[in-house]
Amino acid sequence: MAMRQLSIREALNEALAEEMERDERVFLMGEEVGYYDGAYKVSRGLLERFGEMRVVDTPIAETGFAGVGVGAAMVGLRPVIEFMTWNFSLCAIDQVVNGAAKVSYMSAGEFDCPIVFRGPGGAVHQLAAQHSQSFESFYAHVPGLKVVAPSNSYDAKGLLKTAIRDEDPTIFIESEAMYGIRSDVPEETYTIPFGKAQIKQEGEDVTILTWAKATPTCVKAGEILKDRGVSAEVIDLRSIRPLDFEAITASVKKTNRVVIVQECWPIASVGTWLSSHIMQELFDYLDAPVLVLSNEDYPFPYAKTLEAEMTPTPEKIVAEVQKVL
């Protein structure tokens, strides 16, 4: 495949444009997605290309436009609803959790809800407690939702195209801090199936499971460990629901040790559930308890020095790996 370097925001923009070109039922709706080209410029140029009926600027009213999207999906359209940040999705959580997630089940399959809720999540730089939260654990808790969190441009494009084509509602969480990071993306069109993890670094001594913005942090930790004679296998889960437990099982059987790294709070999180699942299903293959490295269990501080202490770092990951070794 011919490759070129795209930022994550460019890859997402390309995915949206290709799917809107491919299927006239696809439309984008959210705050500032049109005339402002998106708060993070993910929708740059789409209004000019597709017009106001398919790139819809909304008021600051997440409950309202999320609900409009759910209704549109029920009658055959394929909406992409952008939250300016996933922190604001809490205003619309009833539409997402009691609406989109349950439409197919409560209608006995009479209605599908092919909708994508997307936008930036997680910590960025000094946006403080109300704008720095990771909500994948909130939404992964809910049957009926698919939850995706890409870590690079290639995955962002391929997974978003899959999400738009999927018949079920998808929670698509992008990293605000990573929008400008560039990586290889094929010129040819492609999709990436949900539930297929990717091995970012092969290893024999310990499995490091992660997703989203924590992935490159884990890769850096893997490089440090390699210099110290430790062979770490780093796996990017890509999608959290559905989960690629086959890839996890194969790796655990090989390494017999697991560290899970997440930029989420620790209690009732994806990482703690995954730890429990591994210890129930793969206990006989483990030579040490599964460890979970999370954000510190506090609201995010504004101060730069304190913010840096909140999330997993390569040094913290190395320390956790040393414990299981």
Q: Which domains does the chain have, with CATH numbers?
A: 3-186 (3.40.50.970), 198-324 (3.40.50.920)
Mean pLDDT by 10 residues, the chain (325 residues): 93 98 98 96 98 97 98 98 96 97 97 97 88 94 98 98 98 96 96 98 98 97 98 98 98 98 96 97 98 96 90 97 98
What angle (nearest 5°) sits at the alpha carbon of residue 182, between those of residues 32 and 306?
75
State the catalytic residues.
62, 131
Query: Can you give the pLDDT at residue 125?
Result: 83
The dihedrals phi and psi of 156, each to the nearest 5 degrees, come to -60, -45
Query: Can you give the pLDDT at residue 16?
Result: 98
Query: Can you give the pLDDT at residue 212?
Result: 97
Work out whether strand 239-241 and strand 146-148 pair parallel, antiparallel, or are unpaired: antiparallel
Q: Quick check: 117 and 173 in contact, CB under 8 A?
A: no
Query: Can you give the pLDDT at residue 321?
Result: 98
Query: Can you give the pLDDT at residue 285?
Result: 98
Q: What does the radius of gyration of the chain's CA atoms come to, in whole angstroms?
A: 20
Give the number of other CB atoms < 10 A from CB of residue 202: 13
> What's the distance, Cα to Cα, between the start and end of the chain in Å?
40
Helices (H), 46-174: 46-50, 62-74, 93, 103-106, 136-140, 153-165
Query: Can you give the pLDDT at residue 307?
Result: 86
Helix (DSSP H) and strand (DSSP E) numbers for the chain: 12, 14
For residue 79, the SS3 value is: strand
Report the C-alpha gap between 174 and 153 in whole angstroms: 10
Q: Which residues of 30-44 are buried (b: 16+ CB within 10 A; e: fewer)?
A: bbbbbeebbbbbbbb
Query: Can you give the pLDDT at residue 123?
Result: 87
Query: Can you give the pLDDT at residue 2?
Result: 87
Query: Can you give the pLDDT at residue 308?
Result: 84
For residue 208, the SS3 value is: strand
Asked if residue 186 has a cis previous peptide bond (ω within 30° of 0), the answer is: no
Q: Where are the beta strands (DSSP E) in 59-212?
A: 78-82, 116-121, 146-148, 170-175, 182-186, 198-201, 206-210
Residue with tokens 């989109």: 100
CA distances from residue 46 to 34, 174, 322 in whole angstroms, order as listed: 7, 19, 48
